[in-house]
Structures are given as structure tokens and as C-alpha cells.
């Protein structure tokens, strides 16, 4: 929101970011120096600084390659979706058709979609799902 408030629509992106002290190109802001792999200066055992030959430059290359790969998506569900699924299970159990016409079904999901969301929740959070079902069973026993 700070950027939004400081943004001047009459200026270019580069000018706006420069005025805010932000970089428009991260590669120019923090350049990654290309190292001379065959003559890198390396400290040897804390004694004097000498030149060592890098015998395994492929390690550096592989690490740079791995760092350049996009990050894998972690499989998590939003808190809203978890609350929605738990609410549907709590009120309707395995009766997916009954949960479709319910006012809390603001996504207007079909029975298959609700079942799929519940199964995704079961797969992503199996321990939490087991604990939730156990607490529901305990509540039913307490009521009776």
C-alpha cells in the first residue's frame, strides 16, 4: 500500500521506483559477479591467502542451475477452504447433495465438487482430518 500511495501515474515505472529508492531490475541492483573459476582466491586453512585451482567447477554450475530453477509449489489449502470443508463435514457428513443447497455453499459447488474438496483436504491434512472426525464423534457421544 505504501507503493500505491507514493505512485505517480504521470511518471514511468522506472522513474517511480527510482524516486522510492527501489530497483526496477534486481540484476542491476545486486549484480552477481562471474567468478574466474580456475584462479579463485581461496583461504587455505586460515594461514595465508593463496590461489587454489577449482577442480570441480561443475558443483558451482549445478548449484547455480538449481538456484535458477523456479520454486516448487507447496501443496497447501487456504484457511477459508479448510473452514468451508470442515463446516460442510460437520453439518452434512457424507451427504454431499444436502450440502449443495445450503446457504454456506457460497461457491455454489456441485456434490462432486464438494466431495473432491473434502478428498483434497483428507489427502493434504490426514492427521488434522482424523482429529477432526474424532472430535465430531466425541461431540455426538456427549450429546447422547
C-alpha cell at 142: 456427549
pTM for the structure as a whole: 0.48
Mean pLDDT of 39-63: 54
Ranges assigned E (strand) in the chain: 41-43, 49-51
DSSP 65-89: HHHHSPPPPP----HHHHHHHHHHH
Q: Phi and psi for 28 in degrees, rounded to 5?
A: -80, -30
pLDDT of residue 133: 92
126 versus 65: the higher-pLDDT residue is 126
Mean pLDDT of 15-27: 78
pLDDT, tens digit, for every residue of 82-128?
999 999 899 888 888 888 877 778 888 899 999 999 999 999 899 99
Cα–Cα distance measured from residue 40 to residue 34, given in angstroms and rounded to the nearest whole number: 11
Cα–Cα distance measured from residue 114 to residue 110, given in angstroms and rounded to the nearest whole number: 6
Share of the chain above pLDDT 70, in %: 74
CB 85 within 8 A of CB 118: yes
Averaged pLDDT of the chain? 77
Amino acid at each position: 500500500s505504501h507503493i500505491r500511495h507514493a505512485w505517480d501515474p504521470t511518471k514511468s515505472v522506472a522513474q517511480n521506483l527510482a524516486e522510492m529508492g527501489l530497483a526496477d531490475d534486481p540484476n542491476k541492483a545486486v549484480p552477481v559477479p562471474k567468478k574466474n573459476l580456475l584462479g579463485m582466491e581461496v583461504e587455505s586453512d586460515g594461514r595465508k591467502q593463496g590461489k587454489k585451482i577449482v577442480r570441480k567447477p561443475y558443483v558451482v554450475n549445478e548449484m547455480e542451475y538449481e538456484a535458477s530453477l523456479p520454486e516448487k509449489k507447496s501443496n497447501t489449502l487456504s484457511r477459508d477452504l479448510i473452514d468451508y470443508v470442515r463446516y460442510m463435514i460437520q453439518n452434512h457428513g457424507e451427504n454431499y447433495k444436502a450440502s449443495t443447497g445450503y446457504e454456506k455453499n457460497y461457491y455454489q459447488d456441485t456434490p462432486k465438487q464438494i466431495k473432491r474438496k473434502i478428498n483434497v483436504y483428507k489427502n493434504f491434512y490426514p492427521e488434522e482430518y482424523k482429529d477432526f472426525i474424532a472430535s465430531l464423534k466425541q461431540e455426538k457421544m456427549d450429546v447422547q
